[in-house]
Amino acid sequence: MLFPMILLWFAAFMAFALSVFARFLVELFLNSRIAILGSFAGFERSFNHGVAFGITFAPSLQMILIIGALCAVLWMAERGVHTLTEYAGFGLIVGGGLANILDRIGDGTVTDFIQVGSFPVFNIADCCITVGVVLLLWGMIINEWRQ
């Protein structure tokens, strides 16, 4: 049981560290848009006052919802994780969530910088959270298939 928890916290640490480091680099160097695939994809710094996909609530309610969601994820990880894939998924969600909370503390915004098509601009922490959710869904599908 020790190895899976180490995996969870390692994934959380790596997601957190990579997200914070990327934000640091963006704030230091990204002053104007950098096109990667013309106007379709690139790096463009923007500030997100909301939560997922820019949805906003009153600032105090928003922080309560974010911290509550993170606590719920930790509770679910503690109670219902069975596979290494699920441990890694929960770790990525926790690390990405903590990185976004840290980013939000200073001015109430999250720094986003990855632009793809018409999708809302996002950051590394958002990627980690998304990959974590995909891993959890994959784990659920595999568990259902095995039964």
Active site residues: 112, 126
DSSP string, 78-144: HHH--SHHHHHHHHHHHHHHHHHHHHHHHHS-EEEEEEETTSPPB-HHHHHHHHHHHHHHHHHHHHH
Q: Which residues of 105-138 are buried (b: 16+ CB within 10 A; e: fewer)?
A: eeeeebbbbbbeeeeebbbbbbbbbebbbebbee
